[in-house]
Amino acid sequence: MYSVSSASITETGKVREINEDAVLETGSLFAVADGMGGHQAGEVASTLALSAIGQYVEDNLGAIPGEKLVEKAVSGANAVVHQKAVSSARFRDMGTTVTVLYREGDTAYIGHVGDSRAYLLRNGDLRQLTDDHSLVAKLVQEGEITPREARSHPQRNVILKALGLESQLEADVVSVKIQPGDVFLLATDGLTSLVGDDVISRVLAAFPGPVDAAGRLVELALEAGGIDNVSVVIVSFAESPTVVPVGGATGGSNGGDNRGDKGGGPRASRGKAARIWLILLVVLLVLALAGFGVGLYFFNHTYFVGVKGGKVTLFKGFPFWDMAMVETQTDIEIRFLPDSLRTRVEENLVTESRRNAEKTIESLALEVEKNSSIVPDVEGKAYDEATEMLLEAGLHPVAELVSRPGFEPDVVSTQDPAPGARVGKGSDVMLK
């Protein structure tokens, strides 16, 4: 048997303005993604992909075997990202790499697309579990260049395979039988392009816990220039301490009991019965306290996303019997979500951790942003300019001609809704 510990870090780096990487870290599912495709589109792609993978695994946990579950989760995420990419010119050609580790029993299933990587450190030896889907990796495989030349090749950032570029995609999936002491690393190329495998191996072997190892790897990438976003997830499987049961009675005869049986039998029987009842009461009390403690623990470590006052809200506790507390109420209005997604949020989206819940809320905020607009301030502007501003915001201007003293012709005097209001895409804005 083994115990599992993990850590994840994602950093923007020293050159990029936006972090287009994303990480996922739950009890049995871990992933990194490196988005691409224009201003903020990569950030949307990576976040959307990991959200889709996490949701698919959660919805089908136990219903689909591990290898097929990872394969279908990545394929489904590809469809989600591709659909988003073709829905708007803003997201055209966006995509993302993804490397996933899903643990089922004593087996780790690795799903992979792109040039993010999965490594395994076992008994001091570091092994790369994934093959890069990149141009330089193909050139190395064909003997055109050496691995050393690949690190500085001018086309080292050319990806041959990524989520979202095509409507259908087949991911690489490998399985590894877990052994106590195994350490898995998932990383984007912001780490692996700057920090060599030998250094990565030494860091993973030198640091006893995932948190310190993850922090050191990111530090090394930043010290080497930090020219890209850098993200790591480390999952460690340590050997669990052996539990030795406390010794009890050996079953031998007790002199006092024997004398009781031979002498005052009824009195000894009553005393024995009282002792049994007392033991039972103590056991029941201990079980009740343990149950309360377990329930309290899970209450404080269970988070879900629901609705309060028409707005997306993060709750802590159990999503039944009204046993939950409001942790954070956001400004995300549920009415701007697509119908199917709004229904799921209204029925509560249970997540495995607060971090996962916050990632879900970020995804919902992106959906609201896509389906709604902030009404611009067009009062006092010429009608043609006001119309252009509203159309650019995805809104529909409706003019009502009025005559008011003191106002120039073709100038907007008032508008409804007021400036700053959030409304659905395509909503009418009345201009006077």
**Distance from C-alpha of 265 to C-alpha of 250, rounded to nearest angstrom:** 23
Helices (H), 185-311: 189-192, 197-206, 210-223, 255-262, 265-300
> Which residue would you say has higher pLDDT here, 70 or 334?
70
Domain parsing of the chain, residue ranges:
2-239, 303-370, 375-431
CA nearest to 44, candidates 361, 313, 362, 339:
362
pLDDT, residue 98, reads 97
CA nearest to 23, candidates 96, 105, 103:
96
Q: How many CB atoms lie within 10 A of CB 318?
A: 16
Q: How many CB atoms lie within 10 A of CB 273?
A: 10
Residue 186 CB partners (closer than 8 Å, separation 6+) = 30, 31, 32, 99, 100, 101, 116, 117, 118, 232, 233, 234, 235
Beta bridge partners of 30: 25, 101
Q: Are strands 428-431 and 396-399 parallel, antiparallel or unpaired?
A: parallel
pLDDT digits (tens, 9 = 90+) for 292-303: 555 555 556 678
Amino acid in the structure at residue 68: K
pLDDT, residue 276, reads 76
Element (H, E) at 372: strand 372-374
pLDDT, residue 253, reads 37
Contact 351, 303 (CB under 8 A): yes
CA nearest to 309, candidates 345, 290, 334, 327:
334
pLDDT at 171 over 50: yes
| CATH number of this structure's domain 375-431, picked from the four choices 3.30.420.340, 3.40.50.970, 3.30.10.20, 3.40.50.1370 | 3.30.10.20
Residue 329 CB partners (closer than 8 Å, separation 6+) = 308, 309, 311, 313, 314
Contact 27, 352 (CB under 8 A): yes
The CATH architecture to which 2-239 belongs is 4-Layer Sandwich (3.60)
Residue 129's pLDDT band (cuts 50, 70, 90): very high
Element (H, E) at 230: strand 230-239
Residue 322's pLDDT band (cuts 50, 70, 90): low
CA nearest to 39, candidates 58, 17, 64, 56:
17
pLDDT, residue 426, reads 85
Amino acid in the structure at residue 425: K
Task: Specify the DSSP class assigned to residue 34.
Answer: E
Q: What SS3 class is residue 62?
A: coil
**Distance from C-alpha of 102 to C-alpha of 432, rounded to nearest angstrom:** 58
> Which residue would you say has higher pLDDT here, 325 or 188?
188
Token pair recorded at residue 411: 């100038």
**Distance from C-alpha of 388 to C-alpha of 294, rounded to nearest angstrom:** 59
- DSSP letters, 118-171, are EEEEETTEEEE-S---BHHHHHHHTTSS-HHHHTT-TTTT-BS--BTSSS----
**Distance from C-alpha of 197 to C-alpha of 187, rounded to nearest angstrom:** 12
pLDDT digits (tens, 9 = 90+) for 52-76: 999 999 999 889 999 999 999 999 9
**Distance from C-alpha of 107 to C-alpha of 280, rounded to nearest angstrom:** 41
Amino acid in the structure at residue 10: T
pTM of the model: 0.57
Helix count and strand count (H, E) for the chain? 12, 19
Using a pLDDT cut of 90, give the percent of the chain over it: 43
